[in-house]
């Protein structure tokens, strides 16, 4: 089997010649270890600054060449996500909005917004916005009604990184790209306000989700690319202790729209993968009912252990994960090797399993732990 065939079969819970391997994302520090040079791939701070400074083509070349070279060098990943950064490049020749640097880690835009870099977590976030935030009273059902214009096709140059990845690796690797989006938990400002809306204003949640589905359905046909094997969706719907809203509330307010999104995406590509952190076991039957093919991000610290999931849900959905991201960052190589062995022993029988980290190869993953995972997987994969 090629990697593409192997992953497609595993996601369909059909027999495979060996267990597939994949990562949701790999952050830049691990990629730089493998390549031996700096990269913009998953280097959010450096990428944002470079785009502010008008170095768009430099970023594009790095996203293209470094991603492909990384996966060729490690030469063991069967499934690759073509991530949003590869689908959202500014078009060639654009003029960036250029904020003023006001400190080593802060920038201010002409409208007064202030952004700050957090180097430890590799993020730039808005820390001051002079515009007043919307509150519960500011949201009205009418805000989510009315006609929706058909989205304009994107400038072809915004897709050059994803097109390059598909051209170079899409023949044999299973490459999943983003669909038009995920409609499940509607957001109304911050987390607290969002939860209040779900509890107190269900009519507003329905209105927001109806509009979201219509818009995201329109984007699906723009997202699909030749050589793409499947779509992925992503939204975190739970914490370590369980879902953000009850299964009953999810069934009423969210599930119909989530199911419509999954089914609409499958009109264009046959398989849909969901990245979703936290303990989502109470939602899993609904994910299966919606037609979801694969669930990624098995947060072991939240009870999402592969053996337990296989016992509960059998071969009705594929699970992807098994190696605790906490051990990749804080553990020893032997901790990681043990995770690989346990995940293969518990997840591989009966197919429907892809090995990977419980979330991602996150920033600050120890390089020796990353290599231990690949080595142990390579040593054992043919035995399952």
Cα separation, 8 vs 135, in Å, equals: 45
134: left (phi over 0), alpha (psi -120 to 50) or beta: beta
95-104 per-position pLDDT tens digit: 999 999 999 9
Banded model confidence at residue 366, pLDDT cuts 50, 70, 90: very high
Q: Can you tell me the distance from the alpha carbon of 165 to that of 82, in angstroms, rounded to the nearest whole number?
A: 8
Lowest mean pLDDT among 28-42, 64-78, 130-144, 330-344: 130-144
Q: What is the pLDDT of residue 137?
A: 66
Tokens of 54: 């008008």
Model confidence pLDDT, tens digit, residues 281-290: 999 999 999 9
Residue 189 pLDDT > 90:
no
pLDDT per position as a tens digit, 225-281: 999 999 999 999 999 999 999 999 999 999 999 999 999 999 999 999 999 999 999
User: Could you report the per-residue pLDDT of 54-94, keeping only the tens digit for each?
Assistant: 999 999 999 999 999 999 999 999 999 997 777 779 999 99
What is the average pLDDT value for the chain, to the nearest integer? 94
Q: How confident is the model at residue 14 (pLDDT cuts 50, 70, 90)?
A: very high
CA angle 86, 181, 295 (to 5 degrees): 90
Lowest mean pLDDT among 127-136, 179-188, 314-323: 127-136
Predicted confidence (pLDDT) at residue 136 exceeds the cutoff of 80:
no
In this predicted model, what pLDDT tens digit does every residue of 270-280 receive, in sequence order?
999 999 999 99
The strand order across the sheet containing 100-103 reads 100-103, 106-108, 114-118, 123-128
Q: Which of 169-173, 191-195, 202-206, 322-326 has the lowest mean pLDDT?
A: 191-195
3-state helix, strand, coil in the chain (%, to 5): 45, 15, 40
Nearest to 328 by CA among 295, 294, 356, 347: 356
Q: pLDDT at position 340, please?
A: 97
Above pLDDT 70, what percent of the chain? 99
Percent share of the chain, pLDDT over 90: 88
> Token pair of 193, please?
């306000």
Distance CA 91, CA 192 (A): 36
Topology (CATH level 3) of domain 3-93+136-383: TIM Barrel (3.20.20)
Mean pLDDT, range 189-215, rounded to an integer: 94
């Amino acid at each position: 089997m090629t990697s593409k065939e192997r992953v497609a079969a595993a996601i369909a819970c059909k027999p495979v010649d060996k267990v597939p391997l994949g990562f949701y994302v790999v952050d830049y520090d691990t990629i730089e270890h493998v390549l031996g040079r700096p990269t913009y791939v998953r280097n959010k701070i450096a990428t944002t600054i470079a785009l502010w400074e008008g170095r768009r083509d430099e970023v594009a070349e790095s996203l293209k060449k470094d991603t492909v070279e990384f996966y060729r060098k490690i030469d063991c990943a069967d499934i690759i996500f073509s991530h949003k950064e590869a689908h959202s490049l500014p078009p060639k020749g654009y003029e960036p909005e250029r904020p003023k640097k006001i400190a080593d880690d802060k920038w201010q835009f002409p409208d007064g917004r202030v952004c700050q870099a957090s180097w430890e977590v590799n993020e730039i976030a808005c820390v001051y916005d002079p515009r007043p935030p919307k509150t519960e009273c500011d949201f009205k059902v009418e805000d989510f009604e009315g006609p929706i214009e058909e989205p304009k096709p994107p400038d072809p140059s915004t897709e050059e990184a994803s097109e390059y990845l598909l051209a170079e690796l899409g023949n044999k690797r299973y490459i999943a790209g983003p669909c038009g989006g995920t409609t499940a938990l509607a957001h109304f400002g911050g987390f607290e306000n969002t939860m209040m809306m779900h509890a107190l204003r269900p009519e507003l949640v329905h209105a927001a989700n109806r509009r979201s589905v219509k818009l995201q359905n329109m984007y699906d046909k723009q997202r699909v690319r030749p050589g793409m094997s499947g779509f992925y969706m992503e939204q975190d719907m739970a914490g370590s202790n369980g879902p953000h809203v009850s299964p009953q509330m999810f069934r009423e307010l969210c599930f119909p729209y989530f199911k419509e999104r999954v089914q609409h995406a499958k009109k264009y590509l046959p398989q849909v993968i969901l990245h979703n952190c936290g303990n989502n076991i109470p939602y899993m039957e609904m994910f299966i009912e919606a037609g979801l093919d694969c669930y990624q991000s098995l947060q072991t610290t939240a009870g999402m252990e592969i053996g337990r999931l296989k016992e509960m849900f059998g071969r009705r959905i594929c699970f992807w994960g098994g190696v605790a991201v906490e051990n990749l960052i804080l553990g020893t190589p032997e901790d990681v090797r043990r995770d690989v062995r346990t995940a293969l022993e518990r997840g591989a029988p009966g197919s429907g399993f892809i090995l990977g980290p419980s979330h991602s190869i996150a920033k600050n993953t120890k390089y020796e732990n990353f290599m231990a995972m690949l080595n142990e997987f390579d040593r054992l994969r043919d035995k399952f």
